[in-house]
Structure 1
Amino acid sequence: MGKGLIRQDKTCLNCNYMVEERFCPNCGQENTETRKSFYHIFSHFFKDFTHYDNAFWRTIYNLLFKPAVLSKAFMSGKRLYYLDPIRLYIFISFITFFIISVFPNEIEDIKTSSKEKSLSQTNIPSIDSLHIEERGIDGLTKMGMISQENNDTIKKLLKETKEINSKGIINLGFENINELDSLQKNGADNIEVNSVKNYVLKKWLTIEEELTEEEIFERFSESFSHNLPKVLFIYMPIFAFILWLFNNKKKYYYFDHAIFTLHYFSFLLIMILVIFFIGKLKPLLSMSPVLGWVHFSLKTLGILFMFYYFFPAHRLFYGDKFFLSFIKSALVYFINLFVFSVILVLFSLLTYLNLK
Structure 2
Amino acid sequence: MSTNQTTCKNCEQPFDSDFSFCPNCGQKDKDELTLGVLFYNTITNYFSFDARFFKSFLPLLFMPGYIAKQFVEGKRLQYLHPAQMYLFVVVVFFFLFSFKANEQASEIDREIASAFESHQKKDSLSIKGKQVLKIINDSLDREEARDALKNTAIYTGMTKEQIDSLVDGENFNRDKYNFGLEGTELDSLIKINASDKDLYNAMGLKEGDGAFKKRLYGQALKFLKSKRGGSILQTFYDTIPIAMFIVLPLFALLLKLFYRKSGRYAHHLVFSFYFFAFIFTVFGLLVGINYITDIPDWIDTLIVFSIFFYLIIALKRFYQQGWFKSFFKGSLTTFLFIPIVSIVAVGVGFFAFMFY
Q: Give the structure 2 partner of residue 343 of structure 1.
A: 344
1-structure distance, mates of 2:289, 2:246: 28
> 1:272-287 to 2 correspondence within 5 Å?
272-281=283-292, 284-285=293-294
Q: Give the structure 2 partner of residue 296 of structure 1.
A: 297
* Greater RCO (CA < 8 Å, at least 6 residues apart): 2
Counterpart of 1:342 in structure 2: which amino acid?
A: I
Candidates 65, 68, 73, aligned match of 1:68: 65
Counterpart of 1:31 in structure 2: which amino acid?
A: D
Q: Give the structure 1 partner of residue 102 of structure 2.
A: 105
Counterpart of 2:263 in structure 1: which amino acid?
A: Y
Query: 1:277 deviation in Å?
Result: 2.6
Matched, 1:319 2:315: no
Change (3 A) 1:218 1:112: closer
Query: 1:218 deviation in Å?
Result: 1.5
Aligned residues: 287
- Cα-Cα RMSD: 3.8
| Contact 1:12–1:19, Cα closer than 8 Å, also in 2 | no
Q: Give the structure 2 partner of residue 265 of structure 1.
A: 276
What is the SS of the residue equivalent to 2:79?
A: coil
Q: Give the structure 1 partner of residue 27 of structure 2.
A: 29
Candidates 237, 243, 246, aligned match of 1:231: 243
1-structure distance, mates of 2:244, 2:224: 30
2-structure distance, mates of 1:128, 1:341: 36
2-structure distance, mates of 1:103, 1:40: 32
Amino-acid identity (%): 22
List alignment gaps of at least 5 residues for structure 1. 1-8, 115-124, 143-158, 168-174, 186-192, 286-293
Q: Give the structure 2 partner of residue 43 of structure 1.
A: 40
Candidates 234, 256, 261, aligned match of 2:267: 256
Matched, 1:11 2:46: no
2-structure distance, mates of 1:228, 1:140: 56
1-structure distance, mates of 2:124, 2:31: 65
1-structure distance, mates of 2:110, 2:16: 62
| Contact 1:23–1:31, Cα closer than 8 Å, also in 2 | yes
Change (3 A) 1:97 1:74: same
Counterpart of 1:272 in structure 2: which amino acid?
A: F
Query: 1:127 deviation in Å?
Result: 6.9
Change (3 A) 1:11 1:230: same
What is the SS of the residue equivalent to 1:105?
A: helix
- Of the structure 1 ranges 99-108 and 300-309, higher mean CA displacement relative to structure 2 is found in 99-108
> 1:140-159 to 2 correspondence within 5 Å?
none
Counterpart of 2:7 in structure 1: which amino acid?
A: T
Counterpart of 2:284 in structure 1: which amino acid?
A: L
Candidates 235, 238, 247, aligned match of 2:259: 247
Candidates 85, 88, 92, aligned match of 2:85: 88
* Greater C-alpha Rg: 2
- Of the structure 1 ranges 338-347 and 254-263, higher mean CA displacement relative to structure 2 is found in 338-347
If the length of structure 1 is used for normalisation, what is the TM-score?
A: 0.67
Change (3 A) 1:20 1:272: same
